[in-house]
């Protein structure tokens, strides 16, 4: 799924002052929208969220209150137990993050998550010299609950990773147009390396 928050994305293109909008466009009593990456039903409201409707991290009134997150939930549940690699693309900061995000505890297959993330980080470094930082979300970046990464992992995705793309521009979320192609190409190299590592890892396990 190339884009979850389509309405939010279109809103960012409507006027320059809306460029950094991150929430959905569902109207609530006091403000518009919820943060879709705090709206998933795994440890909803546990950490790194807000119950303030006007906050950029507003979690929503309940899990899957946003149609955007409900659609992704349905896809993940349809393929429950059959997903080897789930990737959520974000910006910014040059991170490859894995579960858990909601708390500073280790995932059951932390070594595998680390190996896949390191494969992506190394591939990008070899291409561009840019070094993505690797680690679990809560310890490496900040605790955040209700994320798609944690939900996908809880629903059976063996490898679940959040990729925070390179920073750029005054607000760090908007690199100049001249850099976009470069960042896209190096990101693809990293994604391909991670996918290859997942295939290698689990094809070996299936033969054991």
Query: Rounded to an integer, what distance in angstroms lies between the CA atom of residue 105 and that of residue 34?
Result: 26
- Exposure string for 63-90, b = 16+ CB within 10 A, e = fewer: bbbbebbeebbeebeeeeeebebbbbeb
Please report how the helices 177-207 and 110-128 are oriented relative to each other, as an axis angle in degrees rounded to 10: 140
- pLDDT, position 207: 47
> 6-205 has which CATH code?
3.40.630.10
**Catalytic machinery residues:** 164
Contact 122, 200 (CB under 8 A): no
- pLDDT, position 107: 98
Query: Rounded to an integer, what distance in angstroms lies between the CA atom of residue 141 and that of residue 151?
Result: 18
Contact 51, 59 (CB under 8 A): yes
Which residues, including other chains, have CB under 8 Å from residue 171's CB and lie 6 or more apart? 20
- pLDDT, position 170: 86
Total residue length of the chain: 208
- pLDDT, position 131: 96
Contact 88, 148 (CB under 8 A): yes
H helices of the chain, in order, are: 6-12, 67-78, 110-128, 137-140, 148-154, 177-207
pLDDT one digit per residue (tens) for the chain, 208 residues: 889 999 999 999 999 999 999 999 999 999 999 999 999 999 999 999 999 999 999 999 999 999 999 999 999 999 998 999 999 999 999 999 999 999 999 999 999 999 999 999 999 999 999 999 999 999 999 999 999 999 999 999 999 999 999 999 888 998 999 999 999 999 999 999 999 999 999 886 654 5
Instruction: Name the pTM for this structure.
Output: 0.94
User: Which DSSP symbol is given to 176?
Assistant: -
- pLDDT, position 205: 64
Each domain of the chain, given as residue ranges in start order, spans 6-205
- pLDDT, position 2: 84
The gap from C-alpha 11 to its chain's centroid, in whole angstroms, comes to 20
């Amino acid at each position: 799924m190339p884009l979850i928050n389509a309405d939010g994305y279109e809103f960012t293109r409507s006027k320059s002052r809306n460029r950094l909008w991150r929430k959905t466009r569902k109207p609530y009593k006091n403000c518009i929208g919820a943060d879709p990456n705090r709206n998933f039903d795994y440890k909803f409201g546990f950490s790194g969220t807000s119950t303030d409707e006007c906050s950029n991290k507003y979690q929503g009134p309940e899990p899957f209150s946003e149609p955007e997150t409900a659609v992704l939930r349905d896809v993940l549940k349809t393929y429950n137990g059959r997903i080897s690699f789930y990737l959520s693309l974000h910006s910014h900061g040059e991170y490859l993050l894995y579960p858990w995000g909601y708390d500073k505890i280790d995932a059951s297959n932390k070594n595998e998550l680390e190996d896949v993330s390191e494969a992506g980080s190394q591939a990008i470094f070899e291409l561009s010299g840019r070094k993505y930082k690797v680690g679990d979300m809560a310890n490496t970046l900040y605790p955040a609950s209700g994320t798609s990464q944690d939900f996908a992992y809880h629903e059976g995705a063996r490898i679940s990773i959040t990729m925070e793309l390179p920073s750029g521009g005054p607000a760090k979320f908007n690199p100049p147009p001249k850099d976009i192609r470069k960042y896209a190409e190096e990101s693809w190299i990293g994604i391909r390396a991670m996918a290859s590592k997942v295939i290698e890892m689990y094809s070996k396990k299936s033969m054991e």
